[in-house]
Amino acid sequence: MYKLNNVSKKYSQSRREVQALDGVSLEIPAGQMVAIQGPTGGGKSTLLQMLGALDRPTSGTVTMGEQEISKVKDVKLAEIRAKDVGFVFQSFNLIPTLTAQENVETALEPLHLPAAERRERARAALESVSLSDRADHRPSELSGGQQQRVAIARALVTNPKVLLADEPTGNLDEDTRDEIMDLLEGLWRDQGLTLIIVTHDSAVAARAQRRLVIRAGQVKDAA
């Protein structure tokens, strides 16, 4: 699925330069479930952004499928994000004014589907995370675990090839964490996703097929 070749990312922030990624070369086959661990500030989120076509490396190449995403224009990056990638964030990042159903529909907006099809697919996605009965609720009316389920439905409603999750259980208690991990694992298995999860939590990382550790911008396989 992914091929990274000597990828570096440098942030220059008020005189100081930060080398967030330092010559990362890496391959992730399609359908793999990968956990990324490492100390805070190690470059986990930065790596996930490269994989998710949210940002370009300072040097090196990132290839996703056949596409070298480190070279393409912004508009094309947005298209890749819309079609091939799903994101799940630590703090859920739902639109506070929209209902659960509408939040899921936002992911389908760039695909320009007919309204009826859009509604139906969003409804089905909510059902797959067992939240049909909360479709009309606002995020503020949902628990953390329920909000993260809505976020997962939003990430998967487009049938992406990759699901990228940055500490998806970081804001949840242990029971809810296990619930969410069960859900993610089930969906990964059912849909043949490539699932990449950044986590501090060894219990979460233990569920992955492969564990990567990033320290000071350098990636190593843990096992």
Ligand X SMILES: Nc1ncnc2c1ncn2[C@@H]1O[C@H](COP(=O)(O)OP(=O)(O)OP(=O)(O)O)[C@@H](O)[C@H]1O
Query: Sheet containing 59-64: which strands, arranged edge to edge?
Result: 16-28, 2-13, 59-64, 67-68
20 binds, among other proteins, ligand X, Mg ion, none (CB under 5 to 8 A by kind): ligand X
Number of residues that bind ligand X (CB under 6 A): 12
Q: Is position 186 an interface residue for other proteins (rule: CB under 8 A)?
A: no
Number of residues that bind Mg ion (CB under 5 A): 1
Cβ neighbors of 125 (< 8 A, separation 6 or more) are 104, 153, 154, 156, 157
Q: Please say which residue, 128 or 169, places its beta carbon nearer to ligand X.
A: 169
Secondary structure (DSSP) of 61-102: EEEETTEETTTS-HHHHHHHHHHHEEEE-TT----TTS-HHH
**Smallest distance from Mg ion to CB 135, Å:** 31
What's the chain's length in residues?
223
Site string for other proteins, 155-184 (x = CB under 8 A): x--x--------------------------
Query: What's the DSSP call for residue 137?
Result: -
Q: How far apart are alpha carbons 190 and 188 in whole angstroms?
A: 6
Secondary structure (DSSP) of 8-65: EEEEEETTEEEEEEEEEEEEE-TT-EEEEE--TTSSHHHHHHHHTTSS--SEEEEEET
Q: How far apart are alpha carbons 9 and 24 in whole angstroms?
A: 9
DSSP three-state, residue 103: helix
**Smallest distance from other proteins to CB 110, Å:** 4
Site string for other proteins, 32-61 (x = CB under 8 A): -------------x---x--x-xx------
Q: Is position 20 an interface residue for ligand X (rule: CB under 6 A)?
A: yes
* Residue of 5, 32, 45, 58 that binds ligand X (CB under 6 A): 45
Using CB under 6 A, which of the segments 13-21, 58-66, 103-111, 172-180 binds ligand X? 13-21
Q: Is position 44 an interface residue for ligand X (rule: CB under 6 A)?
A: yes
**Site residues (vs ligand X, CB under 6 A):** 11, 13, 18, 20, 38, 40-46
**Site residues (vs other proteins, CB under 8 A):** 45, 49, 52, 54-55, 74-75, 78-83, 86-87, 89, 93, 95-98, 102, 105-107, 109-110, 115, 118, 154-155, 158
